[in-house]
Amino acid sequence: MKHLPLLCIAALMAARPVLAQDTLSGPDAFENIADESQRSAAMFTEIGKVLTNPRCLNCHPVGNSPTQGDDMHPHSPPVVRGDADFGAPGMTCNTCHGPQNVTLTSGEGSIPGHEPWSLAPVSMGWVGKSLAEICTQIKDPERNGGRDLEAIYEHMATDGLVGWGWDPGAGRSPAPGSQDVLGQLTRAWIDTGAVCPG
Ligand code: HEC
Ligand code: HEC
């Protein structure tokens, strides 16, 4: 009996803690916010849990190279975005990144893959920016690839590279929630005025 507390602590430490960052609430969780603008901004903040996850940020840098892993270390080997966000001649992204994830023969880790595979343009870079800045940028057709809000919804809800965030290959943790919930949140955010957090 007197060993029980210690065992409990050991069990708690072994289980991976579920952090708020790991979960994604759907639009229903925001119904109690009466003010529509506040509700909209709160839902974008929830969307932000996905946008600021390393699975997305590693490909949405503001600089010249992608990053890797949950600690977002520099891409190894070093690669640059090049003129088309697709690498330098002879070292394009698809030299190594195939149409799907490839588990390494060692059994540990994988080379991520999807067709297409390239860096998001600089204008869509998110690393180091506040959620308010990211939100304003995502709504701006001058910077978001000429998209209106419906096209942003389509991208969040159906784009394959976004979907890769929940199927990132062996050795990588997925983005919080699911692409389906991300789509529902984006729909509800737009329908409530697409308000950015302050
Ligand atoms: C392999 C790299 C890669 C990954 C991983 C990635 N993206 Fe992107 N993302 C891109 C590229 C490339 C574009 C530009 C595509 C275009 O304009 O057609 C883009 C564009 C976008 C856009 C369009 C609007 C804008 O202003 O950025 C959104 C929204 C977006 N990505 C969301 C995400 C989310 C959410 C994730 C993570 C779940 C993610 N992306 C992961 C490469 C990536
Ligand atoms: C010479 C091979 C090679 C080239 C070229 C290359 N990559 Fe990679 N990349 C890798 C490998 C291998 C990994 C996996 C590393 C790991 O997980 O330890 C990786 C991982 C990544 C990741 C990390 C995903 C995550 O969330 O952890 C991103 C993002 C990425 N590459 C983007 C790119 C982009 C964009 C280009 C082109 C500009 C590119 N890579 C070119 C080999 C390459």
Q: Which of 133, 162, 164, 172 maximizes ligand 1 atoms within 8 Å of its Cβ, making it the mutation to test the pocket?
A: 162
Residue nearest to atom 11 of ligand 2 (CA): 111
pLDDT band at 124 (very low <50, low <70, confident <90, very high): very high
- 106 C-alpha to ligand 1 centroid (Å): 30
Q: Which two tokens stand for residue 47?
A: 């969307």
Q: How confident is the model over 160-174, as pLDDT tens digits?
A: 999 999 999 999 999
Which letter, b or e, does each residue of 69-107 get, where b requires 16 or more Cβ atoms within 10 Å of its Cβ?
eeeeeebeeebebbeebbbeeeebbeeebeeebeeeeee
Q: How confident is the model over 44-97, as pLDDT tens digits?
A: 999 999 999 999 999 999 999 999 999 999 999 999 999 999 999 999 999 999
CB 171 within 8 A of CB 109: yes
Q: How far apart (Å, rounded) are the C-alpha atoms in residues 116 and 95? A: 12
Q: Is 69 in the pocket of ligand 2 (CB under 6 A)?
A: yes
Q: How far apart (Å, rounded) are the C-alpha atoms in residues 94 and 189? A: 35
Q: How far apart (Å, rounded) are the C-alpha atoms in residues 77 and 164? A: 22
Nearest to 72 by CA among 126, 108, 130, 121: 126
- The CA-to-CA distance between both ends of the chain, in Å, stands at 52
Ligand nearest to the CA of 83: 2
What's the gap between Cα 21 and its chain centre? 12
> φ, ψ for residue 156 (rounded to 5)?
-60, -45
